[in-house]
Amino acid sequence: MPGHRTDPSDSGQQLLLTLGRLVDQALERIKLQQARAELAMALQRHMLPPGLPQLPGVHIAARYAPSRDGLDVGGDWYDAFLMMDGSLGLTIGDVQGHDVEAIAFMGQVRTSLRAIAEATSDPREVLSRTNDLLISMGFGLFATCCFLRFDPVSRDLTVSRAGHVPMVWATAGGRSGIALDRGGPPLGVLAGERYPVTHRRLTEAGVLVLLTDGVVEGPTYPMEAGLAEVARLVRAGFDADPDVLASAVIKVAEQTGHRDDAAVLVVRYDGPPEPG
């Protein structure tokens, strides 16, 4: 009895159909991943302030770079706003994690901090009350943060830190440095924490740079080296346009090989008005 012979064209068609199904499945997975990434990025953008205030003699710029892991989003944020007493509130922070939960918690932190700052102009109170509120919500996450209050009339600057990276500064007179102010633990860790404050008075033109650790620290790149590089850039460009300086500082993250997201907030002060 003669054996059954398979038409080679049938095998070829089956192979093409199988390959077609695999390609369709791969395209669907790519589309789904793109949709998830776009949704996460849209959520991240809406969690950051749509604009930054500008005051006479004070210029502000910010930059954000997403994480290279997960959904390419994270919990870093920045904010700047006018307070009820006419002073300027400035904050930057970093929430634990790199996912949608971290973004949601970041939104709670930023919103809570800004609302509390409307009720009190004392950075110590702002961080302490925000800390207690976050603990009472029971998220189980924590956030580092730096909060500044600047009075453009008295030129007084008050700083309070919650486990966050120090800011970098430079002045028109040639002075510069890394502000190693005392600080407390991250927000959301210890209830009843009273955060220390540092008081300064800005007597000349200069620039302040607030940032997150994703800018200055990488897998094999120590934070000290990253801060030193930012300090070099700030010394060289203290009188540059804040947008230009912010773009230069955020690029330090490329040198560190960062996997974390990164944020930068630059504040340039033109100095006290000339006596009239």
CATH architecture of the domain with range 55-269: 4-Layer Sandwich (3.60)
* pLDDT computed for residue 263 by the predictor: 93
- Report, as an integer, the average pLDDT of 218-223: 87
pLDDT grade for 272, boundaries at 50, 70 and 90: confident
pLDDT score for 40:
53
Q: Mean pLDDT across the stretch 59-77?
A: 76
* Residue 242 pLDDT > 60: yes
Q: Which residue has the higher pLDDT, 31 or 272?
A: 272
Residue 2 pLDDT > 80: no
Report percent pLDDT > 90 for the chain. Answer: 51
Residue 48's pLDDT band, with cuts at 50, 70 and 90, is confident
Share of the chain above pLDDT 70, in %: 79
Kindly state the average pLDDT of the residues 36-64: 74
What ranges do the domains of the chain cover?
55-269
Residue 7: pLDDT band (50, 70, 90) is low
Average pLDDT (41-47) is 56
Tell me, what's the pLDDT at 160?
A: 96
Mean pLDDT in residue range 117-132: 92
Asked if the model's pLDDT at residue 18 lies above 50, the reply is yes
Q: pTM here?
A: 0.82
Give the mean model confidence (pLDDT) for residues 98-120.
83
* Mean pLDDT calculated for residue range 188-201: 94
Is the predicted pLDDT of residue 198 greater than 90, yes or no? yes
pLDDT at 200 over 70: yes
pLDDT of residue 1: 47
Highest mean pLDDT among 37-41, 71-75, 181-185: 181-185
Average pLDDT value over all residues in the chain:
84
DSSP sequence for the chain = -PPP---HHHHHHHHHHHHHHHHHHHHHHHHHHHHHHHHHHHHHHHHS-S----BTTEEEEEEEE--SSTTS--SEEEEEEE-TTS-EEEEEEEES-SSHHHHHHHHHHHHHHHHHHTT---HHHHHHHHHHHHHHHT----EEEEEEEE-TTT-EEEEEEEBPPPPEEEETTS-EEE-----BPPBTSSTT----EEEEE--S-EEEEEE-HHHH-BTTB-HHHHHHHHHHHHHHTTTS-HHHHHHHHHTHHHHHT--S-EEEEEEEE--SPPP-
